[in-house]
Structures are given as C-alpha cells and as structure tokens.
Amino acid sequence: MRPLEGITVISIEQAIAAPFCTRQLADLGARVIKIERPHVGDFARKYDERVDGMSSHFVWTNRSKESLTLDVKTQAAKEILLKLLKQADVFVQNLAPGAATRLGLSYDDLIEINPKIIVCDISGYGDNTEHPGAYRDKKAYDLLIQSESGFLSITGTPDEYVKAGCSIADIAAGMYAYSNVLSALLERNKTGRGKRIDISMLESMTEWMGYPMYYTLRGGTPPPRSGSAHATIYPYGPFPTGDQKQVMLGIQNEREWQAFCSVVLKQVDIATRPEFINNTQRSAHRDQLKQIIVNVFSKLTQSEVIELLEKAKIANASVNEMQDVWQHPQLQQRQRWIEVDTPIGKIPTLKPVGLTDAQDFTISAVPDLGENTNQILTELGYSDEQIEQFHHHSIV
C-alpha cells in the first residue's frame, strides 16, 4: 500500500509551486485531481515546447494526476467543484491572494461542508486576513521572490547579480506546502479536524537564506558574490583542467589542505606558507592561490585531477552539463530513471527521491487537458446528457 493511498487532493493550480507540491502527493499514491480552465489549462502547458511539443515545466510537475476542466466562474462548475471538495481530503490552490475567498473556496467556507478538509493556500507573500501585510496583493514570480528574499544579493559575481537557473522560490514553496500537508494529515488522524495552511514564497526563501542572514545579524558585511566559488572558504569551487573541462573541489579543513598540497599539487611547502596557513589567509589571498592551482591543473586532464583528488580524499565533482546528468553513471547504476506516459508518448522521469520499492510510489501519465473530465463527472453522478451540455456551454 502506498503511503497516501485513499487520499484525494483537489488542486486549482498553475505554474510551478502548487503543481510541484501536488506531484509529490501524487507520487505517494494520493489521487490528485487538477482543475484547469477549459480550452486553456494551466498556463505552464505553454511555457515551451521542448518535450516533443509539450512544456518541460509541465511534464516535470504534473505526472500521476487527473485533469478536469472547469470554468469555476460559472455556477454549474462551482457546484461540480463543491461536490468534489465535499469528499476531498486536501485542497491546494495558488490563485491570486483573495481569489479563492471570492469564489467561496476559503477554508472557512469549505469546513462548513467538509470539517476534515485540509486547505493549503500558496502565494507570493502570504494570504492571512489577520496580518495581511502591505505586500499581500503584489504579483510574485520566482525571480521577484529570489530578489525580495535577498538571494540575488549573494548570488553571482562582484559585478552582477545572477538568479538561480531553476525556479528555486517556487520549489521551496512547493516543498514546504508538501511537508505541511503531510503534517496536517498526521494531525488530522489525532484530532479528526482539518486545518488551513498558509504558504508564502517569500517566507520559504527567507528560511533558506538562514546562513547569510545570520552572517550579517549584527550589521556585518554580507558574504561577497563569488560566482561558483565559496564566498568564505578557499579553495572551494571550479578550476579548469588541461583538456578544457572543469573540476569542482572543496577543502573543508587543515588536514585536507595539507593532503591537497602534497598529493594533488605535489608542493608540500605551500601548505605552511604564511599567506596560505589557514582558511582566513587562503581566502584573503585566493587570486594568488588560484594561479598556483590552475598552473598545476593545466598539465592534467579532468579525469587525472579527479583521480588525484580521490587519492587525497578531497571532495570533488565534475562540472556537468544537462546531457551529462541524463547519462550520469550513478543515476543509471542506481536505476533511478523510469518511463512515464504523456499525450505525446513515453519520456524518462526520475523516481521519487528517497523511494526505491515500486510498491511505495506511483508514476502514471501526465494528463492531456481535460483528459479525465467525463470520467470524474460520471463518478459524481452526472448523466451523459448533462455532461454533453456542460461541454456545449464551456462549463467544462
């Protein structure tokens, strides 16, 4: 039995944060019914066409779900939605702040028909009526939250801010939503009651900024933007090799530093030079030390450098491109890839992190827009004639 088997999740979701949350729930066996706008759907469906005509964002965050199209602004569609919510365990939504309340879908509204329901609201800045905050109604996209949370201020080079290459603010919010929903389900087992969860993308990212924030707690200077190197530890970061590749390495303590000098650089005396005697000095003289390292690595291939680093027990990694990750030997050897059906055929997808036994998770198709509409309406007791009328009037 999968952990969330028997749990039904209804989600009015779009973009990444909410879909990423509900995909985790679906992976664990929950039935996730995704509500989409008729003829349009989740706008993430059209972000790009890189997966044989489908959106890379959409196929990533929407496997194992069912798609039901509803125009929730019509009364008939609201009645359908309320029928679903009356028997659901969880409702997740990331509409604009206040929109769910205007539609009669707030937690206070829903517990009147389903006292056990767990409602998870995801927004940029939080949607709390008691303490709404001045930012409550601001639009919030991933890059904007990376900026507001201070993430950009410590990411990039001394000359330029650089955002994360993936949607980390959305991912952070989605994962906090997921873990809070799981906690609420456990709590409901004890209390018999549902609850409301208010997830803020800003708060999710601010939690992730704990180290740099404490680093500056008493007005201290922030960690400098240092590209892909570590801001305060050196050597720690990427270094070029003689075959036009890169190696990432990290020295964490003095024992590793001495091993690095003797085994990798083969220059034992460097370890005790005053300008490199400890991490503070190495970081202060990083340009000088980098030149020494680059000179040594320029005579070696990437694989030769990694072999020496392994011999010295120094943490290291290849600097991989996307195609390298698809073929990563560790992921292949651990059999972490599986195929998932989509409207355009099978594509590879990563198994749920932490799970290996197929009985512990489920991976089913990425749904086409409205693919499950008729089936779900039939389950709710609507006749074929009624369903045909819903389609005719674009209610579904």
Name the residue among 379, 369, 394 with its Cα closest to residue 76.
394
**pLDDT above 70 coverage of the chain, percent:** 100
pLDDT at 62 over 90: yes
Do 52 and 152 reside in the same domain of the chain? yes
Residues 190 and 110 in one domain: yes
Give the residue with greater pLDDT, 18 vs 217.
18
Q: Say which CATH number the domain at 21 has.
A: 3.40.50.10540
Could you tell me the residue range of the domain that residue 128 belongs to?
Answer: 8-208+330-392
- What pLDDT, on the 0 to 100 scale, is given for residue 264? 97
Cα–Cα dist 70/50, whole Å: 27
Same domain, 273 and 150: no
On whether residue 2 sits in a domain, the answer given is no
CATH number at residue 249: 3.30.1540.10
Give the tens place of pLDDT for each residue, 98-128.
899 999 999 999 999 999 999 999 999 998 7
What is the 8-class DSSP label of residue 331? H
Q: CA 289 to CA 297: how far, in whole Å?
A: 12
CA–CA separation, 220 vs 213, rounded Å?
Answer: 10
The fraction of the chain above a pLDDT of 90, given in percent, is 86
Q: Is residue 228 part of a domain?
A: no
Going by pLDDT thresholds of 50, 70 and 90, the confidence category of residue 221 is: confident
Residues 257, 193 share a domain:
no
Domain boundary among 266, 287, 319: 319
Looking at residue 39, its pLDDT comes to 93
Same domain? For 156 and 264 the reply is no
Helix 17-27 to helix 168-191 angle (10° resolution) is: 50
- Whether 141 and 80 share a structural domain: yes
Same domain assignment for residues 52 and 157: yes
CB 93 within 8 A of CB 105: yes
User: What is the model's pLDDT at position 134?
Assistant: 84
**In the prediction, which pLDDT does 321 show?**
85
Length of the chain: 396
Whether 218 is in a domain gets the answer: no
Q: What is 47-95 written as a DSSP string?
A: S--TBTTB-HHHHHH-TTEEEEE--TTSHHHHHHHHHHHHT-SEEEE-S
Q: Which of 284, 300, 319 is a domain's end point?
A: 319
Answer with the residue of higher pLDDT: 140 or 258: 258
**Do 297 and 337 fall within a single domain?**
no
Any domain includes 44 = yes
Confidence (pTM): 0.90
**What is the number of structural domains in the chain?**
2
Tell me the per-residue pLDDT of 4-29, one tens digit each, with 9 for 90 and over: 999 999 999 999 999 999 999 999 99
**For 302-336, how does the pLDDT look when each residue is reduced to its tens digit (9 = 90+)?**
999 999 999 999 999 988 889 989 999 999 999 99
Say if residue 363 is in the same domain as residue 266. no
| Burial grade of 292 (CB within 10 A; 0-12, 13-18, 19 or more) | middle
Do residues 211 and 233 lie in contact, with contact meaning Cβ atoms separated by under 8 Å? Answer: no
In a domain, 226, yes or no: no
Any domain includes 168: yes
Question: Beta partners for 317?
Answer: 248
Say what the pLDDT of residue 111 is.
Answer: 96
Examine residue 217 and state whether it is found in any structural domain, yes or no: no
Domain C-terminal end among 319, 341, 364: 319
The CA–CA distances, whole Å, from 208 to 117, 161, 169, 226, 393 equal 29, 18, 9, 18, 46
User: Is 313 within 8 Å of 256 (Cβ atoms)?
Assistant: yes
Is residue 220 in a domain? no
Q: Are 193 and 47 found together in one domain? A: yes
Q: For the chain, what is the mean pLDDT? A: 94
Q: Please determine, for residue 224, whether its predicted confidence score (pLDDT) is greater than 90.
A: no
The answer on 131 and 25 residing in a single domain is yes
What is the average pLDDT across 131-149? 87
Answer yes or no: do 204 and 304 share one domain.
Answer: no
